[in-house]
Amino acid sequence: MPVAEAPPATRESLQRLCPAGRPDERRTPPRGVRGDLELTLGVAAATIAAMLPIGRLVEPGWMPGAVATILVVLFAGYLLRRMGLPGIVAAVGELLVWAVCATLALGHDDALLGFLPTLDLLQDLPRVLDLVGVEVVEGVAPIDPSREFAFVLIAAGGFLAFCIGHVVRDVRLPLLAAVVLITVFAIPQLAVPGDPDFVAAVFLIAAILWLVRAEIRARRPGMEAGPVASTWAGILGVGSVVAALILSPMVPLAAPTGGGVGRTSTISATLDLGDDLRRPADVEVLRLRTDAPSPPYLRVATLTRFDGITWAPDEGTPLSDLAFPPLARGGEVTERTTSVEITRLTGSYLPVPYPATAVEGVQGQWTADGLNRTVRSASASALGQRYVVTSQEPQITREEARAVMPRRDGPIDAMFAIPPGDDPEFHPGSTVLPEGGVDEDIRAAALEAIGDATTAYDALIAMQSWFRLDGGFSYSLDAPVEEGFDGSGMDAIDRFLDVRSGYCVHFASTFAVMARSLGIPSRVVVGFLPGDATGEEVDDQDVYAVLGSQLHAWPEAYLDGIGWVPFEPTVGLGSPTSLRSATAPGTTPSDAPAPSSAPTPAPTSSRDVDRGDAAGGAPTGAAFNPADLLRWLAIAVGAIILLALPAAVRAVRWTVRLAAARRGDAGAAWRELQDLVIDAGYSVDESESPRAFAAHLTRENGVAPDILDPLVRAIERASFAPPDGSAGPDLARSLTRVRHALLPAGRERLRASLLPRSLAVRPRVTSR
């Protein structure tokens, strides 16, 4: 039956027919306390929550200023709107307040009265931004920000709040605002891999749920304050969890193109290497070339002081320049030159071979440590440095090493003890055990390992062989975490000797403690394995690339009159130390890989270093890692959830409204009709009367009048008379028929289901 024209409607009836009311009311949400204030609070909470994880990049001293700026800017806009000012005036007022807050945070000398921006201040902004750029590129997360850096973060927080408020309040796209907030939240977790920030994620999810519900209630007061708003907000919250908390930290990134807090690696002078070795993505941190037969280990720091819980970095007397004193001990030495280029490594230490005697070419203020021949800085960063290290490699023979520190009768902890010498590189703390000594199990393990060794050198070689071959140890990055002993203290050592599975930290710290229990001075070194040949040559020297995953720890023992000798007890990494024999000068015996006191491993790929377990010899291939499979499955499932999220939201909305229509809710049925038209790719003008809208659909879109008639009569009746519950089945049937007419089965239905426009596009209002 054709739709007949209705008599002219009154102003009151038109407002009931079209919930938008007047055009100016439709463009902005209600200005009452319940509407605009709730939106303002929601925007503030969501913006603050999204910025919380930036604290893992930058020390959070700037956060109070950012929170204050966000609140002041948003509530200034709220007050201006409450005064009845037009939206554009309120927006300009917010920007002016934001500029004042940002100027106050900068504390610029040219600011008028300390908080008003001036032309001179604006002209100086490029310099300020350049300084901040240098901090970002060269800084080590977490960065201690300068005043300029704090200003940028505070200003960014205030401007982000202004933009989110505009998107939610004026553009009415809370989904877009949520995507922006989730992106801001995820960036710090991508830049600095680590455990997801669960507390901040929960805060963000709650804030987004609140914001979405507040926007829906403000847009359609009294009509969608129930299950639809709650369902949509809830599903969006689930998407926020997946995107911001689960997926973003696991996303494997492409090769790095920048430095600083971007895709770089960093190293601290501690043994907290577990998280670094288990990074989901790997980066090249440096390149080197050398005139030595094989690339050297590169040390960053030595750790001698051990209190039973942690190993503390050594802090010797810094030298005024980068020229180390010559080796105190005599004997034959071979001088080597190593060129190093730092590509993706930030930090206050420079990796150098041992024993370094000179470092040339570095930029910035760097000091040498005469105690352990390392290089560090209090202000400069390793990133981008190119330098040349000269080192002297002692040519120690096996006979020389066996001629010192013979085995003695008496207490176990004095079995190979030596009197304090005058070697400036000898650290008196290298023989100190934690208060209370070591457990009997550790002493028993040391005695088992050394067997009947008669000298300290033989005992150390026997211990090295025990860890690598005879003791039943295996290399694993997962077992320590699963077993809960991801550390280097006495508890971790006891557990490691029990399960006999761990990574370099456990091998190095256990080796050092066992050596001390026998009276042999020892320490732990943190640095990098030699790296892999790239196939390139510079000045007839092979170029080697070192990855962040080749971060390593190894022990050193002090032999009287010889000095510090490194060992390699970690299963599957490098080659064990074995000194050449003096009886065959110039040759390498079968058990001596190279004529040097240093471990001289063949270059080892990153997968061998820190991705799979190794037992016995070096790994021959990449082992299957269930964690990798689970990670990719989680990424795939999360991606599917994100892709299906719009369709799920739209399906829930359709189901809820269809059920409401069956109960005779004409308002829900009419809103669903509008969204179906929008999903079909057409525009909806909410200023049109229901009959004009129906006639438009019939004329332009070919929808039969008899399909629309029950919907038009129901919405008109709801505007002029009590609702008619008996019309419910007809309403539901009409909606279903309209859906089939506008979105026939096939490609159009699929497109509208996967990418429903009605989630982002709302009916417009045209002034008449």
Residue-wise pLDDT tens digits, 395-410:
888 888 888 889 888 7
537: which residues sit within 8 A by CB, 6+ positions away?
543
For residue range 566-594, what is the model confidence (pLDDT) as tens digits? Answer: 999 999 887 788 888 877 554 443 333 33
Looking at residue 287, its pLDDT comes to 92
Q: Can you name the residues that pair with 393 across neighbouring β-strands?
A: 334
Report if pTM > 0.85: no
**Rounded mean pLDDT, 252-259:** 38
Q: Which pLDDT does position 719 carry in this prediction?
A: 74
| Alpha-carbon dihedral sign for residues 399, 404, 407, 413 | negative
- Residue-level pLDDT at 250: 47
Indicate the SS3 state at residue 538: strand
Q: What is the pLDDT of residues 514-567, one digit of tens each?
A: 999 999 999 999 889 888 888 898 888 999 999 888 888 899 999 888 888 999
Closest listed residue to residue 593, CA positions, set 573, 611, 575, 610: 575
Average pLDDT on 122-138 reads 78
- Structure-model confidence comparison of residues 150 and 110, the more confident one: 150
pLDDT value at 288 more than 90: yes
Q: Which two tokens stand for residue 720?
A: 């002029």
The reported pLDDT for the residue numbered 457 is 93
What gap in Å lies between CA 382 and CA 266, rounded to an integer?
9
Confidence of residue 239 (pLDDT cuts 50, 70, 90): low
- Full DSSP string of 616-662: SS---SPPP-HHHHHHHHHHHHHHHHHHHHHHHHHHHHHHHHHHHHH
* pLDDT, mean over the chain: 75
* pLDDT exceeds 50 at position 715: yes
Long-range contacts of 65-70 (CB under 8 A, 24+ apart): 65/105, 65/150, 65/154, 66/153, 66/154, 66/156, 66/157, 66/158, 67/157, 68/101, 69/98, 69/101, 69/102, 69/105, 69/154, 69/155, 69/157, 69/158, 69/161, 70/44, 70/157, 70/158, 70/160, 70/161
Instruction: Tell me what pLDDT residue 662 has.
Output: 86
Q: Tell me if 583 sits within 8 A of 402, measured CB to CB.
A: no
3-state class of 553 per DSSP?
Answer: strand
- Mean local confidence (pLDDT), 696-721: 81
- Name the phi and psi angles at 708, rounded to 5: -85, -20
The structure tokens 């970095």 sit at 313
617-659 pLDDT per residue, tens: 333 333 444 555 566 666 666 667 777 778 788 888 888 888 8
d(CA 576, CA 589): 13
The two beta strands, 284-290 and 333-342, are antiparallel
pLDDT more than 90, % of the chain: 10
pLDDT digits (tens, 9 = 90+) for 57-103: 788 888 888 899 999 998 988 888 888 888 788 888 889 989 888 88
Three-class SS of residue 673?
helix
Q: Where are the alpha helices (DSSP H) in 141-173?
A: 147-169
Calpha distance 401→396 (Å, rounded): 7
Are the CB atoms for 465 and 513 separated by under 8 Å?
no
Radius of gyration of the chain (CA): 35
Phi, psi of 739 (to 5 degrees): -60, -45
479-515: per-residue pLDDT in tens?
A: 776 656 667 778 888 888 988 988 888 899 999 999 9
Give CB contacts under 8 A, 24+ apart, made by 235-239.
235/645, 235/648, 235/649, 235/652, 236/175, 236/178, 236/208, 236/209, 236/212, 236/645, 236/649, 237/205, 237/206, 237/208, 237/209, 238/641, 238/645, 239/641, 239/642, 239/645
**pLDDT at site 634:** 67
Which whole number is the average pLDDT over 338-365? 86
Give the Cα separation of 555 and 526 in Å (integer): 9
Query: In sequence order, what are the residues at sequence separation of 6 or more whose Cβ sits closer than 8 angstroms to the Cβ of residue 556?
Result: 302, 522, 523, 524, 525, 564, 565, 566, 567
Residue among 668, 701, 665, 664 nearest 682 (CA): 701
